[in-house]
């Protein structure tokens, strides 16, 4: 029950930040645009702080931390490998386009001959 209340409060903080953004829309204050952005960011930061204390929030942040750690363990391809793989894919796409064009042209020719048009 406490977690549901915390999630509700977090949602209300986000809504309050967005409402502040629109409330300051027609304002004549010199730095109204900055205040609009700050209101949204403050709402999001406060909501994240409330979520941090809830059980679903702790699980989410733990999952995020594990995801970043997993992404660091990935062996990313080198620039050379990436360019070679991209070249093979582009070459294959060109060859397939030419093959399909040849099949289409051959079938068109054959159908026209069968129908007596060409």
Q: Give the CA distances from residue 52 to residues 18, 45, 55, 58, in Å, rounded to whole numbers and listed in that order.
A: 20, 10, 8, 6
Percent of the chain with pLDDT over 70: 99
pLDDT higher than threshold 70 for residue 2: yes
Q: How confident is the model at residue 67 (pLDDT cuts 50, 70, 90)?
A: very high
Q: Give the CA distances from residue 41 to residues 25, 35, 63, 64, 94, in Å, rounded to whole numbers and listed in that order.
A: 16, 10, 23, 20, 47
Average pLDDT over residues 93-107: 98
Report d(CA 103, CA 105) in Å as an integer: 6
Between these two residues, 1 and 101, which has the higher pLDDT value?
101
Whether the full predicted model's pTM is greater than 0.75, yes or no, is: no
Report d(CA 59, CA 104) in Å as an integer: 55
């Amino acid at each position: 029950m406490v977690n549901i209340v915390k999630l509700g409060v977090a949602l209300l903080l986000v809504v309050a930040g967005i409402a502040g953004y629109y409330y300051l829309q027609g304002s004549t204050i010199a730095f109204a645009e900055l205040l609009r952005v700050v209101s949204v960011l403050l709402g999001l930061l406060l909501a994240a702080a409330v979520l941090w204390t809830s059980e679903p929030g702790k699980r989410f942040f733990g999952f995020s931390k594990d995801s970043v750690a997993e992404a660091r363990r990935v062996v990313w391809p080198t620039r050379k490998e990436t360019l070679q793989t991209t070249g093979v894919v582009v070459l294959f796409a060109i060859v397939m386009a030419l093959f399909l064009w040849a099949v289409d042209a051959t079938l068109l020719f054959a159908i026209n001959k069968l129908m007596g048009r060409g």
